[in-house]
Amino acid sequence: MKNIDLTGKIALVTGGSAGIGLSVAESLCQAGASVAIVGRRKDALEDAKRHIAKRYPNAEIFAVSADASKVEDIRKMVNQVIQRFGRIDILVNNAGTNVLNEAFDVTEAEWDRIMNVNVKGLFFCCQEVGKHMAKQGGGKVINMASQMGLVGLYKRAAYCTSKGGVVQLTKVLGIEWAPYNIQVNAIAPTFVETPLTRPMLENKEFYEEVIRRIPMGKLAQPEDVAGAVLYLASDLSNFVTGHTLPVDGGWVAW
């Protein structure tokens, strides 16, 4: 039986300096991978690097500052990782953003901001890393979708559209890149308790609504999402591609 041992693997995690991305990076290090974390803020990246190094002193961590919504930044970032490690075995597209607004009131700037990060940036990360994976004989691409790519929720017209796009893109890449031994999958988390979501969930009425919609009756933790990443990054998922795995406590099963 195969197990989750990523020793010798090289992983790249966008949005890796906090929240879900940081938990994913930690879990990959724990499993033996060398990890490049990517984010816009150099100070946050350095804090994350120190945090991981403290917990896993033997882990190799590389921090790269880049804007995951800009194609030129993506190309430079991938090149830096390739120069450092020589290859990329695992790509976790975790960078994402959201703006809450009624559909009548969504501005062009809000729409573009969400699409540029959640769809455009994610696609070009896939494309740039995928080219290297094809040359090296395979790899694992894990896209961070959302349960909101599978169901709808008010005030999230642009966000739901973007995450639905991630789900569909994952299917297409899974089909196109199967001959190259590249497995492309996505994870669709529910509301995860992080510093980013905490202010939103401090609204008691909204929090209670969220909990009502989750059959397991609680929020997800970053470690829950990281566990799904480990599965999809490992040899355990070698015959899984084009799939979106909900980590939602049963929300989309209603």
Flag whether 47 is in a domain. Answer: yes
For the residues 21-27, what does the mean pLDDT come to? 97
Domain hosting residue 148, numbered range: 10-194+221-245
Flag whether 4 is in a domain. Answer: no
Residue 92 φ/ψ, nearest 5 degrees: -115, 105
**CB neighbour burial string for 13-43, b if at least 16 within 10 angstroms, e if fewer:** bbbbbbbbbbbbbbbbbbbebbbbbbbbeee
Question: What integer pLDDT is reported at residue 83 of this predicted model?
Answer: 98
Question: What integer pLDDT is reported at residue 65 of this predicted model?
Answer: 96
Flag whether 254 is in a domain. Answer: no
- Total domains present in the chain: 1
For residue 67, give the CATH number of its domain. Answer: 3.40.50.720
- Annotated catalytic residue within 56, 159, 180, 207: 159
Q: What's 69's DSSP letter? A: T
Identity of the amino acid at 77: M
Flag whether 155 is in a domain. Answer: yes
- Span 191-240, pLDDT tens digits: 999 988 888 899 999 999 999 999 999 999 999 999 999 999 999 999 99
Residue 1 has pLDDT above 70, yes or no: no
For the residues 96-121, what does the mean pLDDT come to? 96
Residue 129 has pLDDT above 80, yes or no: yes
For the residues 237-245, what does the mean pLDDT come to? 98
Mean model confidence pLDDT for the chain: 96
Flag whether 85 is in a domain. Answer: yes
Active site residue 159: yes
148-151 contact pairs (CB < 8 A, 24+): 149/186, 149/188, 149/244, 150/188, 150/244, 150/246, 150/252, 151/251, 151/252
Flag whether 25 is in a domain. Answer: yes
Flag whether 24 is in a domain. Answer: yes
Flag whether 14 is in a domain. Answer: yes
Identity of the amino acid at 37: I
